[in-house]
Amino acid sequence: MIKRCLLVLGMGLAFAGNAAAAEQVDLDMVGRIRQEAFHRSQVMDTFSYLTESIGPRLTNSPAMARANDWTRQKFGEWGLVDAHDEAFDGFGRGWEFDSASVEMLEPRVTQLYALPKAWTPGTKGTVEGEVIKVEIKKLADLEKYKGKLRGKILLLGDAREYKRGTEPDSHRHDATSLEGLQEFTIPKSMDKDRAKRLKEYAERQELTRAINAFLAEEGALAAISISGWDNGIIRVGGGGSRKAGEPVGIPELAMIAEHYNQLARALERKQPVKLRVNVDARFTDETDQPGHNTVAEIRGSSKADEIVMLGAHMDSWHTGTGAADNAAGVAVMMEAMRILKAVGAKPRRTIRVALWSGEEQGLIGSQAYVAKHFAHYPEPTDPAQKALPASLREPTGPLRKLRDYEKFSVYFNMDNGSGRFRGIYAQENIAAMPIFEAWLKPFNDVGATSVVTRNTGSTDHISFDRVGLPGFQFIQDRLDYFSNVHHSNLDTWDHAEAEDLKQAAAIVASFVYNAAMREEKMPRKPLLED
Amino acid sequence: MIKRCLLVLGMGLAFAGNAAAAEQVDLDMVGRIRQEAFHRSQVMDTFSYLTESIGPRLTNSPAMARANDWTRQKFGEWGLVDAHDEAFDGFGRGWEFDSASVEMLEPRVTQLYALPKAWTPGTKGTVEGEVIKVEIKKLADLEKYKGKLRGKILLLGDAREYKRGTEPDSHRHDATSLEGLQEFTIPKSMDKDRAKRLKEYAERQELTRAINAFLAEEGALAAISISGWDNGIIRVGGGGSRKAGEPVGIPELAMIAEHYNQLARALERKQPVKLRVNVDARFTDETDQPGHNTVAEIRGSSKADEIVMLGAHMDSWHTGTGAADNAAGVAVMMEAMRILKAVGAKPRRTIRVALWSGEEQGLIGSQAYVAKHFAHYPEPTDPAQKALPASLREPTGPLRKLRDYEKFSVYFNMDNGSGRFRGIYAQENIAAMPIFEAWLKPFNDVGATSVVTRNTGSTDHISFDRVGLPGFQFIQDRLDYFSNVHHSNLDTWDHAEAEDLKQAAAIVASFVYNAAMREEKMPRKPLLED
C-alpha cells in the first residue's frame, strides 16, 4: 500500500518570488489517479461508444437523446449520484439524415460528394434538375429570380481557388510555441465593431428567413454551396431553420470543393449542368422541444454544498461522428469521474459533471444551466440583443446572483479537440495561476507544463466566466483539428489518440479533486461591471 | 520585329571546365516561344476540356476514345499533320462507372463513401447484406469460406491506424532540395530480389484470378477494401480483370479510411454491420479491344526523316478527373506543339507528339509504339516473363532495331504531376548534360535550373530508355501529388496551377525545337547489353 503524504509544493517558475500561499497537493491521490488513468483506462471505450455506436449527436436529434440516456446510465453504473437530464428551453426542433446522394448527369455522368446542412428538408425521393447559379446578398436580389427557379437546382456562389497546404496537417506544441502563449495581448476596444456586427447579424438572420421562404415558394429543388475546406472534406453546419413555424427553405447541401468548382466552372463556360439529388433527411419533431444536459455528481463531505464542476458539450454537428468535437471532451470528463470513484476519492466539496447540449448553436445548454443555478443577467429589451443566443448577449443591468453563486468554486471544460493537454489558460485570473502551477507539477512529465494568463473562448466555460464564475479550458495540442476535422465529415474516431485522452483524464480528475479538497474555493477575478 | 540572333552559350556551372562543344541555342526563337507560352497560353483550355468536359480517361473506356477524338481534331486545327490514332494490342476490355453509393444500415444509419475498383462489375441495382471480414492471403484460405459468403458483403482486411500528417501537403523545391538531387546513388544489384518479385507477382496474379472466381461462385454481394490514403481521400486502381474470358469477381470498392475503420471496429466488437450498396458500373466491350495512342507531327525540313518526340499518357484512373495524372502532361505537350505552330517554327527534324494510352497498366501504349517503330526485344519464352507487361520484362536476347532506330533523336515525357519544371533528369546520359544546361539557361529565371544525372522511372520515357533511345523526364515541384491527388478521387482541376503549366509548355517547346535544330542527334548512352 502506498504511503499517503501531503507534500507542500513550492510555487512554479512564474511565481518563484511571489508571496502567494503555498498550494498543498495530495500527491498520494494524484499517484492513484495516474495509475487508474494510465493503466486501467476506459476512456477509449467511452469515446468509441459515443462516436461509433451512437454516432453524431446533433442537438435535439434522436442520437443526442440516446447519448443522454447512455451517459446517464454509465454515471449510475460508476456510482455517481443524482444522474439526470436537465432540460433547457429555446432550442427548437430535432433533425437527422440517413443518406445524401448527388450525381452529375450533364455535362458528363459521375458521382459527386455533398452532405446536407442541418435543419434543411430532405428531397422526398430522387429529384433531377438543371443547375443555375444564384447570388443573393440582399433582400432586393430576390426580385430578379422571381419565376425563374422552379425545378432548378441552385449553386450558391462562384468557384473558389484551391488553397495549397503549406503547413503540416497536424501540429503539436513544442517549447517555443508554448513560450509564445505566455504573451498576453491587451484587447482593443470593440464597442464600435460590436454595434456593427450586431446589426449585420440581425440583417443576416432576416435575409436567411426571407431566402428560405422565397426558394420554397418559387419551387427550387435544392441548393448547393461549397464546403468550407478543400481536399474533399465536407465542412458544414446548419441551414434552414430549427425553429418550428419558421420557413425551412429547400434541401440544401455542402459539396466538396473539387466537385462544386467543376459545376461552377461548367456554368461559367455556359455548359448545361444537370444533377440528380436524393437527400433522406427529416425533422424529428413538429414543435420546438427542450434540449437536455446530462448531469451527475460525487457528493462532497464537509463542504458538500460547495460545488466543483467539470464538463464538455456532448452535442455535435451531423456529418462526422462528433469525435474531436466533442466526444473527446465528454469521454475525458466521464473518465475523470470514473477514475475518482475507482480510486475511492472522498472529496470535501461536491464534484459535478455536466454534458452539455446546444453548445454548437451558441452555448445554449451551459448558459441555461448557469442561469438557472448560479446567476444571469436580466432579459434584454433591445430586439437586436434578444435575437442573439443568451450567451452572446451584452450584460444588461446588474447580475442576478442565485443562492449557489457563492457556493460555486470552479468549472473545467474540454473542447479544443482530442489533443494532449499542455497546460491551462488562466483566463486573466491571476490569483489562480500559482494554484494551477502546483496542480500541473505532477503532470509536467507527460507534457502539461504551461499556465498562461490568456483567455480562450467560444465554448461552455464562457457561460461561467461571463457571470464572474471561474471557468477554464486547458491548452491542448491542436493535432489536425483546424485542418481536417473541426465541423467536418472527417471528425471521426481515427483522428484521436488514446494516450492523449488518458493524459487529459488524469489531469482533469486531479484538478477537480484538488479543487474539491483545498481549503478555499478558487479565487475569482472581479466582474467588470462591479 | 525582334532581331534574330544565334547566341553561343557557355556551358553551365557543372561543366565549366569541360571540353564538350558549345551548344548553340536560337534565343530569338526561345523568346518567341516564351511570349506565346506566357502571354497567349491555351494550356488551361486544353487542361479544362480534358479534365472537366471529358473527365477521367481509363484506358479503353468511352471517355478515352472521346479524348483520342478530341485531341486528334485539335492537332488538325492547329495545323499539325498526320494526326491519327495508332492501335496497340494486349490491353483488354473497356469499363466505366456512373455512380456508387454505400449506406450503413446497422449498427446505425449513415452515408459512407466508397468508389469502385476499375474492371469490377456493378451491383445491378441496390443490394443489402451483412458484413463479414475475410482474410485470403493464399489459395488454401479459400477453403474456410466455402458456403459462408452467399448474400454477404466482405471487408478485405483490418482497420488501419491513422497516419498523422507531419509534413506540409504541398511541396515546392528550394535550392537545398534541388542540390540534394545532384547526388547519384550507385544501384545495388537487384538480381536475387528480381527473381523473388517475379515469382510473387505471378503468384499474386494466380491468387487474384482464383479469388475472383471463388467470390462470384460463392455468391458474395460485394467486397470492400480500405483506401490507400487517410483523410477521406479515395485512392484506388483496378480489380477484377480487364481481360475477356477471365473471372471479373464481384463488385469491389475502396472506402475512405475513416468509414472503413468504423466497419472493421464494429466487427471486432462483434456488432452486426449491414450495408446497402449500389454500384452502376459496366464493361463496355464483350471482347478485348485494341488501345489507341494519338499521334501527330510537325514535319521537318532538311532532316525530316529524323525524329524528335514528346509525349504524355492520356489515360488515367477513373475516380478523379485524371488531372495531375496526367491531363497536365497532355495539355503541356499539346500546348508545346501549338506554340511551335503559332511561332512559325520550321524545324529541321520532324517533331512528333504522342498521347499514350495504357500507361497506368504498365506503359502498354508507349511500349507497343516503340516496339513497332524503333526497337524491341524478342518475345520471352519464360512464362513468368510472358505474364508481365512488355515494358517490365527483362531484356531477352539481342535488341531488334528497326529502320527508324538510327533516325530517332530524343523523347521528352511529362508525368510527375502538374508542378513547375525545375530542371531535368539526365537518366545517366552524361553527354546530354551540357546540352540540357544550355537549353535550360533561358528558363533559369522561371525556376528551371537543375540538370542531374539521376534516373527517374515508372512512366513512358522508360519505353524508349530500355531500348537505348534517349528518353527524359523533367524535375518538377511535387505540390500535393503524393499527399492528395496521385491515383485518387482528388486528382482534379483545382490542384493544378496555370502558371506552372505555362512554364512547362514553354520549356518543352523550346527543348524539342532545340533538339530538332541542332546539328547532331541527341547523344545516346551505351545499351547495357552491348
User: What's the gap in Å between the CA of B174 and the closest CA on chain A?
Assistant: 14
A chain contacts of residue B479, beta-carbon cutoff 8 Å? 164
Tens digits of residue pLDDT in A157-197: 999 999 998 899 999 999 999 999 999 999 887 777 888 88
Q: Which chain A residues contact residue B44 at CB under 8 A?
A: none
- At B530 the pLDDT is 63
Percent of chain B surpassing pLDDT 90: 87
Separation in Å, CA of A170 to nearest CA in chain B: 5
pLDDT at A199 (0 to 100): 85
* Cα radius of gyration rounded to whole Å, chain B: 25
- With 0-12 / 13-18 / 19 or more C-beta atoms within 10 angstroms meaning exposed / middle / buried, residue B453 is middle
- Chain B nearest-CA residue for A112: B99
Write out pLDDT tens, residues B241-274.
Answer: 999 999 999 999 999 999 999 999 999 999 999 9
Give the pLDDT band of residue B21 (cuts 50, 70, 90).
low
More confident residue, B190 or A383: A383
Residue B457 class from Cβ within 10 Å (0-12 exposed, 13-18 middle, 19+ buried)?
Answer: exposed
Query: Mean pLDDT, to the nearest integer, of A432-444?
Result: 98
C-alpha cell at B472: 527524359
Supply the pLDDT for residue A263: 98
Over residues B389-416, the mean pLDDT reads 91
The more confident residue out of B477 and B2 is: B477
Position B14 pLDDT exceeds 80:
no
Helix (H, G, I), strand (E, B) or coil at B16: coil
Predicted local distance difference test score (pLDDT) of residue A391: 74
Least confident window among A231-240, B202-211, B322-331, B497-506:
B202-211
* Residue B492: predicted pLDDT: 98
Q: Say if residue A333's pLDDT is above 80.
A: yes
What pLDDT score was predicted for residue A237?
A: 96
Q: Which of B98, B170, B230 sits opposite A109 (nearest CB)?
A: B98
**pLDDT of B519:** 96
A516 has pLDDT over 80: yes
Name the minimum distance, in Å, from the CA of A233 to any CA of chain B.
7
Say whether pLDDT at A12 is over 80: no
Q: Calculate mean pLDDT across residues B287-294.
A: 97
The confidence band for B6, taking pLDDT boundaries of 50, 70 and 90, is very low
Say if the Cβ atoms of A168 and B165 lie within 8 Å.
yes
Q: What is the per-residue pLDDT across B156-176, written as a single tens digit (0 to 9) for each?
A: 999 999 999 889 999 999 999
The rounded distance, in Å, linking the Cα atoms of B285 and B276 is 28
Q: Which of A413, A450, A431, A418 is nearest to A313 (CA)?
A: A413
Confidence band of B202 (pLDDT split at 50, 70, 90): confident
- Kindly list the residues from chain B whose CB atom is less than 8 angstroms away from the CB atom of residue A52: 107, 262, 265-266
Q: What is the mean pLDDT of residues A428-452?
A: 98
**Range with the poorest average pLDDT among A463-467, B196-200, B289-293, B469-473:** B196-200
CA distance B126 to B101: 9
Compare CB distances from A265 to B52, B258, B484 and report the shortest one's residue. B52
Residues of chain A with Cβ-Cβ distance to B489 below 8 Å are 232, 258
pLDDT in tens, B500-527: 999 999 999 999 999 999 999 999 998 8
What is the identity of the amino acid at A283?
F
Question: Looking at the predicted structure, is the pLDDT value of residue A396 above 90?
Answer: no
Decide if A232 and B490 are in contact by the 8 Å CB cutoff. Answer: yes
Identify all chain B residues contacting A265, using CB atoms and an 8 Å cutoff: 48, 52, 493
Render pLDDT for A109-159 as a digit per residue (tens, 0 to 9). Answer: 999 999 999 999 999 999 999 999 999 999 999 999 999 999 999 999 999
pLDDT computed for residue B394 by the predictor: 82
Percent residues over pLDDT 90 in chain A: 87
Report pLDDT digits (tens) over A70-92: 999 999 999 999 999 999 998 99
* Residue A266 to residue B52, Cβ atoms within 8 A: yes
B522 phi and psi angles, rounded to 5 deg: -65, 135
* Residue A177 near residue A447 (C-beta atoms within 8 A): no
Q: What is the DSSP letter of B466?
A: T
Q: Angle formed by the axes of helices A328-342 and A62-77, to 10°? A: 10
The pLDDT of B31-50, averaged and rounded, is 98
Q: Is the pLDDT of residue B8 over 80?
A: no
Predicted pLDDT at A4? 38
Check B109 against A99: CB less than 8 A apart: yes
Pairing of strands A127-133, A274-283: antiparallel
Is A463's pLDDT higher than 60? yes
Q: What percent of chain B has pLDDT over 70?
A: 96
| A335 touches A327 (CB < 8 A) | no
In this prediction, residues A474-480 reach a mean pLDDT of 97
The complex's ipTM works out to 0.93
| Residue B425, beta-bridge partner list | B452
Nearest CA of chain A to the CA of B145: how many Å?
Answer: 28
Average pLDDT of span A499-509? 98
pLDDT for the residue numbered A212: 95
Chain A nearest CA to B54, separation (Å): 7
B375-376 and B400-401 strand pairing: antiparallel
Per-residue pLDDT band for B189 (boundaries 50, 70, 90) equals confident
Look at residue B12 and tell me whether its pLDDT is greater than 70.
Answer: no
User: pLDDT at position B190, please?
Assistant: 73
Q: A16-21 — which CB contacts under 8 Å span 24+ positions?
A: A18/A434, A20/A431, A20/A434
Query: pLDDT at position A195, please?
Result: 81
- Tell me what pLDDT residue A192 has: 75
Going by pLDDT thresholds of 50, 70 and 90, the confidence category of residue A54 is: very high
Q: What pLDDT score does B282 carry? A: 97
Question: The cell 538531387 sits on which residue?
Answer: B181
Across A165-169, B190-194, B442-446, least confident range: B190-194
pLDDT tens digits for range B406-442: 999 999 999 999 999 999 999 999 999 999 999 999 9
Substitution target in A115, A174, A230, A258 with the highest count of B β-carbons within 10 Å is A258
Burial of B22 (0-12, 13-18, 19+ CB in 10 A): exposed
